[in-house]
Each structure stands twice: as structure tokens, then as C-alpha cells.
Chains A and B, each alone.
Chain A
Amino acid sequence: QVQVVESGGGVVQPGRSLRLSCAASGFTFSTHGMHWVRQAPGKGLEWVAVISYDGGSKYYADSVKGRFTISRDNSKNTLYLQMNSLRAEDTAVYYCAKDLPWLDYWGQGTLVTVSS
């Protein structure tokens, strides 16, 4: 069955960096775009970034552009989100999701807390 499992979250100080990973299984990872979506505590869903099936195209929300980088390793069936210059407002649960182009499978999420 399809599974996407996020990891890499934790507590980080403002201005520091963190890299999230999303391990995919149960589908042909290399033929699907992938997204990161986040949810601040008690808030709604915010789309963060998308990467094409081959990594050739990447798009970002304005709120993270220039600070976050989405990437993938199709040989490892893994999606990444490199987060630099983190701010308190980046505190959220980060979900990875498979593109169809609707988001048909979501992971359980990984919590990132930006705090001094």
C-alpha cells in the first residue's frame, strides 16, 4: 500500500537550518510530483512547495521562497525539504503528499518548532 513517512522535525533556534525527509513506498515514486504542506498549531493548511517527478521543476509559496529548497532522490524514493533561516512563524507540522494532481496520499507529518 502507498505510504509516505516524514522525519527530521524537531526544535530549532531562529535563523538556523533543518532538513526534512519523506520516505515513499507502495507506488512508482519517480513518476509523481510531490508536495510539502504545513499546518501551524491550531491553524489551517498552507501549501509550501512542489517538485516535478524528475526534479526538473520546483515551485514555492511566497512565504518560503529563497529560504526553503525542495529536492528529491528517485534512487532512494525520498523527498526532502531544506529549511534555512528559520523563523518562529515556520513552526508547524510539515506534511509530504503525493501529487495526482490532487493530493491523494499524505504522511502523518513531522513537527518543526522554531524557538529560542
Chain B
Amino acid sequence: DIVMTQSPDSLAVSLGERATINCKSSQSVLYGSNNKNYLAWYQQKPGQPPKLLIYWASTRESGVPDRFSGSGSGTDFTLTISSLQAEDVAVYYCQQYYTTLRTFGQGTKVEIK
């Protein structure tokens, strides 16, 4: 199975500042034939189900604010919130869909400093 490791486990950022979350996969999730990274990001607020933010490592889901961006390739990926808002307090998960047996990172909790 592909192991997904996020860092840090938690971070506190001031309102309006940048938040950066990293995700590393134990093997590449870049599919050579289409040059796409099989990596998604989800946001989960307390008491709610996860919500899709980004797929193909960098494509924002419809309706997701443009302060959320994804980058990276191969085994190393980043989710960036360019200007943290109060409503962004949540746990963020990366997930690979390169293999049929999907795996998630352990989650990163984002709080307001």
C-alpha cells in the first residue's frame, strides 16, 4: 500500500497569513502515460464530512476559493492557503488515488494563532 505522510500534524496561523501543509507519498503517484498526479486534498470541519478541495494535485474543485492551491509532483505535494480565514479552521487530508486501495494522510489540523 502507498503510505501518505503529512506534515506538520498541526499548525497555528494568524488570520490573513499563509498556511502550508505538506504531503509525501511512499511511492510516486505520477502516472506516466497522462502525466497526472493522482492526489487529492480534502477539508473536514468539526462535525462535518470531508469536502473535496483539490484533485489532480492542483485542480480546484468548483466553488473552492482561490486562496486554496495545490502543488507538487511525484511524491511531494503541498496545500497552501494563501490568506487564512476564520472559516478555514479544519483538518486537511491528502489522499492518493493512484492505486485501487486508496490511502489518506493522517491529517493536519489548522487553527488560528
Using CB atoms and an 8 Å cutoff, list the residues of chain A in contact with chain B: 35, 37, 44-47, 50, 59, 61-62, 95, 100-109
Contacts and interface: CB of A to CB of B under 8 A. Distances in A.
A62 B106 CA distance: 17
Contacts of B44: 45
B104 A59 contact: no
Contact of B104 (A46, A50, A105): A46
Contact of A103 (B38, B40, B101): B40
Interface of B: 1, 38, 40, 42, 44, 48-52, 55, 61, 91, 93, 95, 97, 100-107
Contacts of A102: 40, 52, 55, 95, 97
A106 B50 contact: yes
Nearest to B103: A47
Nearest to B6: A44
12 contacts: A37-B50, A37-B104, A45-B93, A45-B104, A59-B101, A95-B50, A100-B55, A102-B40, A102-B95, A103-B50, A106-B50, A106-B51
In order of increasing CB-CB distance, the 9 nearest A-B pairs are A102-B40, A106-B49, A102-B55, A44-B107, A47-B102, A45-B104, A101-B97, A59-B100, A44-B106
A103 B107 contact: no
B65 to A, nearest CB: 17
B42 A103 contact: yes
Contact of B50 (A45, A50, A59): A45
Contacts of A46: 104
A81 B20 CA distance: 36
Given A50-B102, A104-B61, A44 B93 contact: yes
Contacts of B93: 44-45
A108 B44 CA distance: 12
Contacts of A37: 50, 104
Given A44-B105, A103-B52, 17 more contacts: A37-B50, A44-B91, A45-B42, A45-B44, A47-B101, A47-B103, A50-B102, A59-B100, A61-B101, A102-B52, A104-B52, A104-B61, A105-B52, A106-B51, A107-B49, A108-B48, A108-B49
